[in-house]
Amino acid sequence: MKFDPIPTHLKVCVVGAGNMGADHIKRLARRIVGAEMTAAIDADLSRAKKAVEGIPSATALADLGQALEREDVDAVLIAAPGPLHKDMLLQVLQRDLPILCEKPMTPDAASSWEVLEAEQKLGLKRIQVGFMRRFDAEYQRLRGLITSGELGDLLMLHCSHRNPGTRREFTNEMLITDSVAHEFDAVRYLTGQEIKNVQVRLGRATRYAQSGQHDPQQVLFETESGVLVDVEIFVNAQFGYQVTTEAVFEKGIVNIGEDRGPYVHTAGRWGGQITPGFVERFRSAYDAEVQSWVDAAKRGEVGGPTAWDGYVTAACCEAGVIAQRSGERVEVSLKSKPGIYGEQLLPGRT
Ligand code: ISE
């Protein structure tokens, strides 16, 4: 095994130098403690070169295979497009290196299950999946309130997830698989329960959607103990980026995600700035996520959501896409959880 269990600096290779990959490259080079950015990979080599400009320790490459041959790669962060993840994950697992894989782990439940099987052959967890909301301070506080029971039982969650716009290739299914994927994981994280079923309602649509998209959509789901969740997914909302949750308890209401920065009074006006996108909105959560991955990787562990969480979200998304097409309520079907992924996240009240 090439991986030294406790290297002082984890030498990290980032695959994919697009929006998210380039952001992680900067983060690893400038803000993460105990890591060194050594290689950036992109099929478009000029993009990889641009992403590592000003980072002397990092080389730009066009192919993951080349990077895995190098002595200066201890761990891999995958931020390439989702459909490429499965092959990359299997390739890195063969080298038994720690992986942080951006969501979706893979685009469907069957391919996620193949990845799980490959990981189980190693006998330990190597993959952390990039559900960064679990590292957001407000989500963590809300989870604490749910587990402590101090406001009574959680009854409902009202979520909104708004993006300013989408690229042309963002399909109607991606409203579920790329965007609502976060709510599936966040609800599992908050409640400690699995999601039983999903339904999608399509109402009046914005004229600003890309062709083929019906936007916004209302996605409804139910957890094992009957907590009802409604999600407004609106990916061409024009005004900025916004992700909020209102939690309804027996003895109170909790709101998170108001995202209010400094409130300025000047020149006869008052107000603040709306964050433009997810990179800015969740910057601290991404920092905490990557730091946790690096720290855990040095101990030979995983520091966040696992491949099991990636698989479950893929299964929820699959049910969501069927629900989107049929308008019916669709049950989420899951295989049993393999032993290496441990217990249920939290003991939910039944
Ligand atoms: C994007 O891929 C993300 O992960 C963002 O967090 C989400 O808000 C956006 O809708 C997705 O397309």
Ligand 1 centroid to Cα of residue 152, in Å, is: 32
Could you give the count of Cα atoms lying within 13 Å of 222 in the half-sphere of its Cβ? Answer: 9
Ligand 1 centroid to Cα of residue 147, in Å, is: 27
Report how far residue 142's alpha carbon sits from residue 319's, in angstroms, rounded to the nearest whole number: 27
CATH architecture of 137-281+311-331: 2-Layer Sandwich (3.30)
3-state helix, strand, coil in the chain (%, to 5): 35, 25, 40
| Tens-digit pLDDT string for the chain (350 aa) | 455 566 789 999 999 999 999 999 999 999 999 999 999 999 999 999 999 999 999 999 999 999 999 999 999 999 999 999 999 999 999 999 999 999 999 999 999 999 999 999 999 999 999 999 999 999 999 999 999 999 999 999 999 999 999 999 999 999 999 999 999 999 999 999 999 999 999 999 999 999 999 999 999 999 999 999 999 999 999 999 999 999 999 999 999 999 888 899 999 999 999 999 999 999 999 999 999 999 999 999 999 999 999 999 999 999 999 999 999 999 999 999 999 998 655 443 43
Please answer whether residues 305 and 188 qualify as being in contact, where contact means their C-beta atoms are separated by less than 8 angstroms.
no
Please tell me the predicted confidence (pLDDT) of residue 247: 98
Report how far residue 286's alpha carbon sits from residue 131's, in angstroms, rounded to the nearest whole number: 9
Q: Is the CB of 42 under 6 A from ligand 1?
A: no
Please tell me the predicted confidence (pLDDT) of residue 350: 35
Ligand 1 centroid to Cα of residue 319, in Å, is: 19
* Tens-digit pLDDT profile for residues 262-274: 899 999 999 999 9
Distances from the Cα of 128 to the Cα of 77, 112, 292, angstroms:
9, 13, 10
Please tell me the predicted confidence (pLDDT) of residue 346: 47
Nearest residue by C-alpha to atom 11 in ligand 1: 179
Report how far residue 24's alpha carbon sits from residue 184's, in angstroms, rounded to the nearest whole number: 23
Phi-psi region of 212 (alpha: psi -120 to 50; beta: other; left: phi over 0): left
Instruction: Select from 3.90.650.10, 3.90.1150.10, 3.40.50.720, 3.40.47.10 the CATH code of 10-133+285-306.
Output: 3.40.50.720
Please tell me the predicted confidence (pLDDT) of residue 3: 55
| Residue tagged 């579920």 (tokens) | 176
Ligand 1 binding pocket mutation candidate from 278, 289, 317 (most atoms within 8 A of CB): 278
Q: Is the CB of 131 under 6 A from ligand 1?
A: no
CA 26, 31, 37, 41 torsion-angle sign: negative
Written as six digits, the tokens of 336 are 């049993």
Q: Is the CB of 278 under 6 A from ligand 1?
A: yes
Peptide bond into 7 cis (omega under 30): no
Amino acid at 44: D
Nearest residue by C-alpha to atom 7 in ligand 1: 179
Report how far residue 103's alpha carbon sits from residue 286's, in angstroms, rounded to the nearest whole number: 13
Ligand 1 binding pocket mutation candidate from 19, 178, 283 (most atoms within 8 A of CB): 178
Ligand 1 centroid to Cα of residue 349, in Å, is: 31
Q: Is the CB of 24 under 6 A from ligand 1?
A: no
Q: Of the candidates 44, 113, 50, 153, which has an alpha carbon nearest to the alpha carbon of residue 311? A: 113
Please, where in the chain does CATH 3.30.360.10 lie? 137-281+311-331
Please tell me the predicted confidence (pLDDT) of residue 5: 60
* Tens-digit pLDDT profile for residues 52-88: 999 999 999 999 999 999 999 999 999 999 999 999 9
The residues that bridge with 77 in the sheet, in sequence order, are 14, 100
Ligand 1 centroid to Cα of residue 285, in Å, is: 14
- Edge to edge, the sheet with strand 10-15 lists 59-61, 35-41, 10-15, 75-78, 99-102, 127-130
Please, where in the chain does CATH 3.40.50.720 lie? 10-133+285-306
Q: Of the candidates 113, 110, 65, which has an alpha carbon nearest to the alpha carbon of residue 92? A: 65
What percentage of the chain reaches a pLDDT higher than 70?
A: 96
Distances from the Cα of 319 to the Cα of 27, 109, 219, angstroms:
34, 10, 11
